[in-house]
Structure 1
């Protein structure tokens, strides 16, 4: 596993965009290892007032997806909401949660975009490069790019293109439901990303590890809201 990069998070939006453009060139796309032991999943839950968030990291054994660890960090929101700069808002809290894990995951599944991003440096790509960890982006909505309509059949997908380059896929995770958007982050390629997401699917639209992370983030968000109002 390669070492991650380090940089300041105290940046203006203009500085953040410049940093994305610089770091995007360091992203490495390659096949995931066939055999690994621990899969991680991350998600963020925002408190209703928008001043704090809950960052969640879960790990699972691979390939049987048995739960191993669940950690979280409650943090103030320190960066404004700007489309395309979500990583500067969410990654610092995710790192705080990540550092609590007793065992580092071999691969991390992120709720967000990988290279399917206007500057090809979405949250999953950024977090993977920062941690030196293979990452996959799996999002419920498209951020950019164009695509054909995928068949409404589980397991079918079509490429997502940005500037005539495939940056991800529009993947049907269940019959007759809205597709999800899968893209490689760092130290991963599209084929590997789609294959892993497919192996993580259960009864629901989103991969089960991300669903579990989302459930915990939602639970923490509600608990914070109740305690703040109490």
Structure 2
């Protein structure tokens, strides 16, 4: 797949301005009907080591088909600042995507989509940068609030709202008895369609299986650097 270079802002102000500009290009509609091939993205980092990103190519009927890895040396990393994660992790994700045997139809990212203070979490940023449908599945809440208490049953969800009441995605109970996940569209997919795709994915534990595999592989790759 063709992957354009990822710009590195020279300051936090430049990064914020770029996020605000790219957020205007996010498209919050699009069907994922018929999608079969996705790339699940996760990353791992430990002080003194490179940041490791993994892309797992996953077929919804056949399971995992391939793996790509990307590294960014610690000295080259953008600083860790909440709300600016894409500038830190996206270069490694793009390298991992380049290594896949096939181009995915959609990106499934461990992180936020539009549930972000400036409407451009890492799933949205990658989606706009690559012009690919994308969605974020985050383990913690960065921005917004659930509109109601989340039911305890697996598969249930409540809308995630901005402070102004604008829908951002869903707080989603993937398994009974585990903490919720936060699903938000990234780019070229609607809110309900993003949740519907996550519900379609096999989920034996808290994370949908493609993301769980990416998480495990990122941990293995990081450990191998020791």
Shared fold per TM-score greater than 0.5: yes
Q: Distance in 2 between matches of 1:4 and 1:29?
A: 22
In the alignment, which residue of structure 1 is the partner of 2:70?
Answer: 73
- Deviation for aligned residue 1:15: 0.5
Q: Distance in 1 between matches of 2:183 and 2:10?
A: 28
Structure 1 counterpart SS, 2:195: helix
**CA distance change for structure 1 residues 10 and 50 in 2, over 3 Å: closer, same or farther?**
farther
Q: How many residues align?
A: 221
In the alignment, which residue of structure 2 is the partner of 1:25?
Answer: 24
**What do the CA deviations read for 1:114-173 (whole angstroms, capped 9, x no partner)?**
000000100000000001110010000000111122001111111111121010100010
- Deviation for aligned residue 1:101: 1.6
**CA distance change for structure 1 residues 55 and 170 in 2, over 3 Å: closer, same or farther?**
same
The aligned runs of 1:117-128 (5 Å cut-off) are 117-128=116-127
Q: Distance in 1 between matches of 2:6 and 2:220?
A: 32
TM norm structure 2:
0.93
Structure 1 counterpart SS, 2:34: coil
**CA distance change for structure 1 residues 53 and 4 in 2, over 3 Å: closer, same or farther?**
closer
TM norm structure 1:
0.91
**What do the CA deviations read for 1:42-73 (whole angstroms, capped 9, x no partner)?**
00011x225411110111113x1511110101
In the alignment, which residue of structure 2 is the partner of 1:191?
Answer: 192
Structure 2 counterpart SS, 1:185: strand
CA contact (8 A) 2:68 2:98 kept: no
- Deviation for aligned residue 1:37: 3.1
**CA distance change for structure 1 residues 185 and 4 in 2, over 3 Å: closer, same or farther?**
farther
**CA distance change for structure 1 residues 4 and 51 in 2, over 3 Å: closer, same or farther?**
closer
CA contact (8 A) 2:158 2:170 kept: yes
CA RMSD of aligned residues (A): 1.6
**What do the CA deviations read for 1:66-103 (whole angstroms, capped 9, x no partner)?**
11110101221320000100000000111111111221
The aligned runs of 1:93-108 (5 Å cut-off) are 93-108=92-107
Task: State the 4+ residue runs in structure 1 displaced beyond 3 angstroms.
Answer: 3-7
Q: Does residue 14 of structure 1 match 2:38?
A: no
CA contact (8 A) 2:155 2:175 kept: yes
Gaps in structure 2 of 5+ consecutive residues: none
Gaps in structure 1 of 5+ consecutive residues: none
Q: Distance in 2 between matches of 1:16 and 1:119?
A: 11
Q: Does residue 173 of structure 1 match 2:171?
A: no
Q: Distance in 2 between matches of 1:59 and 1:194?
A: 20
Structure 1 counterpart SS, 2:187: coil
